[in-house]
Amino acid sequence: SYEYMRRSLIFYRNEIRKMTGKDPLEQFGISEEARFQLNSLPTTHGRTACIGSQLDALD
């Protein structure tokens, strides 16, 4: 039933939070140092390089 699934979700969510210290359902943003900063990308002829090429470098 819905109520059983809801209680199970809350129980396991709390257990994981106790074990890891983090909420498993919370979505974490990109860390501060990993964010794209356009002023730090290499430039080509005075223009900022394409971000897509930067993404390829991360793979």
Amino acid identity for residue 21 in this structure: G
The CA distance from 56 to 54, in Å, is 5
pLDDT digits 0-9 by tens, 2-48: 999 999 988 998 998 899 888 877 766 554 555 555 555 555 555 54
- Name the residue ranges covered by the structural domains of the chain: 2-26+35-58
Query: Is the sign of the CA dihedral 18, 24, 26, 28 positive or negative?
Result: positive
Range list of β-strands (E), the chain: 43-44, 47-48
State pTM to two decimals: 0.42
The CA distance from 50 to 38, in Å, is 10
